[in-house]
Chains A and B, each alone.
Chain A
Amino acid sequence: MPDTLKTLIAAVDAADSSARLLEAVQDLANAADVGAVPTLIAALSYNNPGAAVAAVDGLIKIGEPAVPALLDQLDRHNYTARAWAIRALAGIGDPRGLTTLLGAATADFAMSVRRAAARGLGTLKWPQFPADELEMAQAEALDALLFVCDDEEWVVRYAAVTGLQALAAAIWHRQPDWRTPILAKLDQLGTQDPIWAVRARVWWAQQQLQQLPEPPTSVGAEPIHEVIANWRSTLENLYRRKSQERPLPEGDPRRFRDLAASMTVPLPEA
């Protein structure tokens, strides 16, 4: 490990204030060195939003070499850190992140995780998928995004609309049959969503899809071939669990049925 990287990592470890931590993480992120990945991932769980933003930027800059560690260390106990890690995966757009993003968008209990994953499902780097897997991958992403468009949280629906728009742009000419379900879902949200911000985002997506140029220009990067050996089976498992997996949300009245009958202590309003 070069000395400069050691120094940068030591500065993160030594930071004793929120401002110093932010500065040290920014410096480390700017180095964009793969040796910084473990420290940057650790910075996602320091409960310091500024440092987390800088760490995500750094991980995205490092790109594909950061993906295995991100997937491996997705912190299942701290959903704030998980949301940041999903943001990094979404920003990198590496095909190996697909199954994680599908699971997170459709089934994670934390809305900040679903939100980041829904956005990421639209912005995966499709040209990097192996040619024989691309259609299936995009079909899965589409299926998941249409599902997430009905999330109970406005911000997740908003994110799903951005993902759907990006995916639609990617498949517009290759999969003209898919336009119908996409446009139908956008039409439904754009006229019926109870949250005006979601409708507005739909209108903007509709505008941009109408302006898509013809014909398609797809300049592909090199596909990554080791991508997803066990990908199909992962997907099958994921979708089998998908509908049962998400627990009752906090505050769901079904959770309160027993509680309400038995409570003797007042519950303060959060």
Chain B
Amino acid sequence: MPEQLFDHDNNDSMTSDSLTVEQAIANLQGEDLGLRVYAAWWLGRFRVDEPLAIDILIQALDDEADRTEAGGYPLRRNAARALGKLGDRRAVPALIQALSCSDFYVREAAAQSLERLGDPSGIPALLALLQDQIPGTLPAPEPPYLVQPYDAILEALGTLQAGAAVPLIVPFLQHEIPRIQYAAARALYQLTPDPLEASQYGDRLVAALAGDELQLRRAALADLGAIGYLAAAEPIAQTLAENSLKLIALKGLLETQIQQRQSPGLNEGAIRVMALMDELL
């Protein structure tokens, strides 16, 4: 239910009151495993970027107490996710370390958070993980039992401008899972400096907008919004998907157009995108 997700889980600007922040920090250090894992999520959700919260979340990446039956680390997963949202680069070394965790979902969260923090020092470890060169990493516990969280790794490499990764990424354009193909196309678009050459990767994502499965069309919308590929504007507007998701994708295109200008102002591309957005409101 993405409508619901975007209706209710997108209040990033919201702040939390101090009583509850203290409570969350206390809970994260407490004995109750349920309260701890919830507090880790909560601190990220409400962007509690106090140094103390960061410290405790970094410590939580080494937690051994909270284990699932399958050997997963729920607290580490939530802590890794929260650290990506809090924007403090002190978390980078611990997140790089977390890329070696046996738990697939901890590695996925760590890759996503390294991407969000925008720190290139994670690139070598991400490349090693992409090639499955880190020992002791277990595959995902459910079908299709992916060996590594490839989509998160590929997206991080693209955002972090890991130009040297291109030859390693290209084979993923043929991966059997469409979501991973899209992640590869998205990364290659970001890593290809020549716009004409890069457009072949953007066009792959545009083609995916016409796919048969709604889930995959939604994924392609998100990827196109992330790369801000202007030629996708009209195809996005015409995709059979929720207007909310199309608007978010077009917002990505619009903001890319604005950022490409040095001074505040609107170019032709920005106006073209806004005209499409107006019709989707």
Interchain CB contact under 8 A, A253 and B46: yes
Q: Does A38 contact B (CB under 8 A)?
A: no
How many residues on chain B are close to A (CB under 8 Å)? Answer: 56
**Also in contact, A155 and B244, with CB within 8 A (given A200-B266, A200-B274, A266-B38):** yes
Interchain CB contact under 8 A, A253 and B281: no
Q: Does B227 contact A (CB under 8 A)?
A: no
Interface string of B71-87 (1 = CB under 8 A from A): 00010001001000000
Selected interface stretch from B17-25, B53-61, B158-166, B192-200: B17-25
In chain A, residues 225-257, which have Cβ atoms closer than 8 Å to a Cβ of chain B? 249-254, 256-257
User: What residue in chain B is nearest A90 (Cβ atoms)?
Assistant: B281
Interchain CB contact under 8 A, B34 and A252: no
User: What residue in chain B is nearest A117 (Cβ atoms)?
Assistant: B281
Q: Does B32 contact A (CB under 8 A)?
A: yes
Q: Does A222 contact B (CB under 8 A)?
A: no
User: What residue in chain B is nearest A160 (Cβ atoms)?
Assistant: B281
User: What residue in chain A is nearest B24 (Cβ atoms)?
Assistant: A260
Selected interface stretch from A108-116, A128-136, A169-177: A108-116
**Also in contact, A158 and B277, with CB within 8 A (given A112-B243, A250-B9):** yes
User: What residue in chain B is nearest A264 (Cβ atoms)?
Assistant: B34
Contacts of B278 in A (CB 8 A): 119, 162
Q: Does B255 contact A (CB under 8 A)?
A: yes
- Please, how many angstroms separate the alpha-carbon atoms of A159 and B279 in the complex? 10
- Please, how many angstroms separate the alpha-carbon atoms of A49 and B63 in the complex? 44
- Which residue of A49, A118, A194 contacts B240 across the interface (Cβ within 8 Å)? A49
Q: Does B130 contact A (CB under 8 A)?
A: no
Interchain CB contact under 8 A, B258 and A270: no
In chain B, residues 236-281, which have Cβ atoms closer than 8 Å to a Cβ of chain A? 240-244, 247-248, 251, 254-255, 257-259, 264-266, 270-271, 274, 277-278, 281
Interchain CB contact under 8 A, B258 and A110: no
Q: Does A80 contact B (CB under 8 A)?
A: yes
Contacts of B38 in A (CB 8 A): 260, 263, 265-267
Contacts of A49 in B (CB 8 A): 214, 240-243
Selected interface stretch from A92-100, A139-147, A201-209: A201-209
In the assembled complex, the CB of B257 is this many whole angstroms from the nearest CB of chain A, namely 8
Contacts of B15 in A (CB 8 A): 253
Contacts of B45 in A (CB 8 A): 251, 269
Contacts of A153 in B (CB 8 A): 10-11
Interchain CB contact under 8 A, B9 and A260: no
- Please, how many angstroms separate the alpha-carbon atoms of A118 and B17 in the complex? 30
Interchain CB contact under 8 A, A266 and B74: yes
Interface string of B159-197 (1 = CB under 8 A from A): 000000000000000000000000000000000000000
- Please, how many angstroms separate the alpha-carbon atoms of A140 and B117 in the complex? 45
In chain A, residues 169-210, which have Cβ atoms closer than 8 Å to a Cβ of chain B? 194-197, 199-201, 203-204, 207
What DSSP secondary structure best describes chain A's contact surface?
Answer: helix
Contacts of A109 in B (CB 8 A): 7
Interchain CB contact under 8 A, B255 and A196: yes
**Also in contact, A197 and B265, with CB within 8 A (given A158-B281, A162-B278, A251-B11):** no
Interface string of A82-102 (1 = CB under 8 A from B): 010000000000000000000
In the assembled complex, the CB of B124 is this many whole angstroms from the nearest CB of chain A, namely 28
Q: Does B52 contact A (CB under 8 A)?
A: no
- Please, how many angstroms separate the alpha-carbon atoms of A254 and B6 in the complex? 20
Q: Does A72 contact B (CB under 8 A)?
A: no
A–B Cβ pairs within 8 angstroms, 19 of them: A49-B242, A112-B3, A154-B251, A159-B281, A195-B251, A196-B255, A197-B254, A200-B255, A203-B264, A203-B265, A204-B270, A249-B11, A250-B8, A251-B9, A251-B45, A253-B16, A260-B39, A266-B37, A266-B78
Query: A residues engaging B (CB < 8 A)?
Result: 18, 22, 49-50, 79-80, 83, 109-112, 115-116, 118-119, 152-155, 158-159, 162, 194-197, 199-201, 203-204, 207, 249-254, 256-257, 260-261, 263-270
Query: B residues engaging A (CB < 8 A)?
Result: 3, 5-11, 13-17, 19-20, 23-24, 27, 32-35, 37-39, 41-42, 44-46, 74, 78, 81, 214, 240-244, 247-248, 251, 254-255, 257-259, 264-266, 270-271, 274, 277-278, 281
Give 10 closest A-B pairs by Cβ, nearest first.
A250-B8, A253-B16, A50-B240, A264-B34, A266-B37, A119-B281, A159-B281, A197-B251, A270-B9, A196-B255
